[in-house]
Amino acid sequence: MFNILTLNKIAKCGLDKLGDNYTITDDVAANADGIILRSYKMHDMELPSNLKAIARAGAGTNNIPTDKCTEQGIVVFNTPGANANAVKELVIAGMLLASRDVIGGVEWANTLTGDDVDKQVEKGKSNFAGCEIKGKTLGIIGLGAIGILVANAAYALGMDVIGYDPYLSVDSALKLSRHVKKANTPDEVYAAADYITIHVPLMDSTRNTINAETISQMKDGVVILNFARGGLVNNADIKKAIADGKVKKYVVDFSDSETVNQKGIINIPHLGASTEESEDNCAVMASEEIADFLENGNILNSVNLPNCSLPNDNVGRITIIHKNVPNVIAKYTEALSSVNISDMINKSRGDVAYTIINTDHAIPADAVEKLSNMDSVIRVRVIK
């Protein structure tokens, strides 16, 4: 039986995937085996001693103390692509809102009174005229699950699209329309685009990606869209660029005290993934990821450990989270010399690695103790 702590409301269709072998609680004092959450900030939270895995029902994991989890052998998952379509649709909506003054027009129309509203509308509508996105160039920084969908949708709407992503995978490239131009540097995107949308994770290396220097490389009247994370755009620099006329509009899905009620900024209250379909998709994926890890030791879509899996059809199975250092596998197999190893896989990610070992015999307790006492080992878990 596994105990799962939910730190936010998680869609029932996802939690139902866990089945009868799980108890679900929202009591933060519970000594949970796994945590499923959305935006709850965990950095000041004391992690349960039994905690083995955390699944974020969404893409970003900056609300989770990932480094601390890695040190303690806790696997952190996210759900890439589960909310991609929802965010894509809102990005397109953001472009349209920035191009056509729909918001201003609606607000004005709601102030009209009298029997001649139709005449007032015809007289005043020119104040809210805008431009079409067809024929304009959209620049995309980050061609992951969301960036690819945005690129393909924008091309289908008649836009020219240029994207930059130095980590573009083969699988992602195959999903990208052949009509999307791939830039060699972000500078190419900044110089070419009428609209720029950013879709990268927030890290030290990406914080303030959009700043005074990068804005200076953009076209006059550029529209900037941020549906990834607020810290990717420097608020002070974007407000100055709007005041100077360099940036026409800034559309942001992460409203804060520096962006609300500012001329030229369209604040959206973090609605990117807020659809019924997206919340269901994220909940299902998060539940399936955490269940496969707890029950089988398999890892898929972790942000701190490598993807690693084996069929679970043997008598014994043990997993080891360990440091990525030379000559450790031989030590692990030596510790298990009293049983026959039928299959094994080892994968690494930076300074950490993960090994799954299947055996034809039950895992002896003394072997587990030997492994646990090795300097290179972070965490050992007997699956069966």
User: 177 and 152 in contact (C-beta within 8 Å)?
Assistant: yes
Cβ count near 126 (within 10 Å):
7
Q: How far apart are CA 348 and CA 368, in angstroms?
A: 21
The residues near 289 (Cβ < 8 Å, ≥ 6 apart) are 55, 77, 79, 300, 301
Q: How far apart are CA 297 and CA 317, in angstroms?
A: 9
Q: Is 270 a catalytic residue?
A: yes
Q: Is 229 a catalytic residue?
A: yes
Q: How far apart are CA 102 and CA 130, in angstroms?
A: 9
- CA distances to 48, 209, 313, 320, 373 from 305, rounded to whole Å, are 20, 26, 23, 11, 21
Question: Regarding beta strands 53-56 and 75-77, do their DSSP bridges make them parallel or antiparallel, or are they unpaired?
Answer: parallel
Among candidate residues 56, 229, 317, 322, the one labeled active-site is: 229
Token pair recorded at residue 238: 């974007």
Among candidate residues 258, 277, 334, 369, the one labeled active-site is: 258
Among candidate residues 89, 100, 188, 270, the one labeled active-site is: 270
Q: Is 89 a catalytic residue?
A: no
Residue given tokens 């998952």 in the structure block: 77
User: 196 and 227 in contact (C-beta within 8 Å)?
Assistant: no
Residues recognised as catalytic: 229, 258, 270
